[in-house]
Amino acid sequence: MKNSDLTVRGIHKSFGGFQALRDIHLDIPKGQFTCLLGPSGCGKTTLLRIIAGLERPDAGKIELSGRDITALPPAKRNFGIVFQSYALFPNLTAAQNIAYGLKGKLPRKQIEEKVREALELVDLHRIEERYPAQLSGGQQQRVALARAIVMSPELLLLDEPLSALDAKVRIKLRQELRALQERLGITAVMVTHDQEEALTLADRIVVMNNAQVMQSGSPQEVYERPNCPFVADFIGAINFLPGSQVAGYPQPEALLAVRPEHIRVVSSGRGAAEHDVPVIAGLIRHVEFRGPYYRIELQLLNDREEPVDQAMTIDVSVQASQSMELVKHRKMMLTLPQERLL
């Protein structure tokens, strides 16, 4: 399968007076899985549609292996596209849907062979004669995926392909999609608003907001070293602590961004670690279990450990052995390892 580097240079796009994309620059590396991640309306789909050729930019260029393809019609780009709505032909079987794009382009025998291969790749070979209405959502999306990859596309474009599926199927198909992409070595660009999906699937995440790219990098980079509060907040849970509440922190106006897993909870004298810096002390007012972390509302205590008229909500990852101590009215202190304050 051929693979190419895609570059996006200075793309602008407006709809009427509304600017949907502002000066977008991107490098999509060959053979990698790139996720365009951002909140609803930030311009991800518009960018994907411009890459696909379904939309023309007002300014800027799209290059494939150094070749300007900005004006090339979609049919001439040889990109596979999978949408959230599976967009299958209802009157064709799974196998016929997959074969559709190859009709007239290859001898019948070869088409049959390619379709069989594609069906096996997405694990649908036992139900190839079924019509879309006889398939589950996950199976329909597998057909759509097989229909895209059977064309040996240079680039696989995916617009929220998993969003319509229920959580369990979504996670399974996510893993299958990643395995398939790696196996074929295909370059993939996927739009998603789901940060967990982007973190688990992507080699590179492009975080977008308000028509702009805020940051792009590996999942680890954008998670560990977000370049702005928006990225820090959008990817994973994060606490923004006012500097004034962090003991010994020299800049009162500064915001300290701390992931839940970096905070340590000290309760009933347990959980303290050497070199930790105390950050906040308070009485627990409310506790909410959020899966990977707890959201805790604290009534803050002053230096003399007296309650003050100030509350703070903070997300913390708590070890199972400590979760029993998250009891209303109990005193709790949060500390940070010293290196987190540097």
Which residues sit at the interface with ligand ATP, rule CB under 6 A? 15, 18, 20, 38, 40-46, 193
Residue 32 or 46: the one with the smaller Cβ distance to ligand ATP is: 46
How far is Cα 146 from Cα 116, in angstroms, rounded to an integer? 10
Torsion of CA 37, 191, 177, 171, to 10 degrees: 60
Q: Which two tokens stand for residue 134?
A: 């006889």
199, 259 Cβ separation under 8 angstroms: no
In whole angstroms, the minimum distance from the beta carbon of 251 to ligand ATP comes to 35
Nearer to ligand ATP by C-beta: 15 or 240? 15
Nearer to ligand ATP, 2 or 56 (CB): 56
Which are the contacts of 159, defined by CB distance < 8 A and separation ≥ 6?
45, 48, 81, 82, 83, 84, 190, 191
To the nearest whole angstrom, how small is the minimum distance from the Cβ of residue 157 to ligand ATP?
Answer: 13
Interhelix angle 108-121/137-149, rounded to 10 degrees, is 130
- 86 in Cβ contact with 145 (< 8 Å): no
In whole angstroms, how close is the CB of 308 to ligand ATP at the nearest point?
A: 42
At 333 the three-state DSSP class reads strand
What is the closest distance, in whole angstroms, from the C-beta atom of residue 46 to ligand ATP in the complex?
3
Specify the residue, 39 or 252, whose C-beta has the smaller distance to ligand ATP.
39
User: In Å, how far are 99, 105, 263 from 316, measured between CA atoms?
Assistant: 51, 57, 6
Among residues 245, 242, 235, 276, the alpha carbon closest in space to that of 256 is found at: 242
Instruction: Return the number of the residue (51 or 102) whose C-beta is nearest ligand ATP.
Output: 51
CA distances from 9 to 41, 51, 211, 251 (A): 21, 11, 14, 39
CB of residue 42 vs ligand ATP: minimum separation in angstroms? Answer: 4
Token digits for 279? 């950050």
Q: Which amino acid is at 183?
A: R
Residue among 16 and 269 whose Cβ is closer to ligand ATP: 16
* Closer Cβ to ligand ATP, 44 or 174, answer by number: 44
Nearest approach in angstroms of CB 211 to ligand ATP is: 7
CB-nearer residue toward ligand ATP: 44 or 204: 44
How far apart CA 194 and CA 261 sit, in angstroms, is 20
For residue 40, the minimal CB distance to ligand ATP (Å) is: 3
Q: How far is the CB of 189 from ligand ATP (least distance, A)?
A: 13
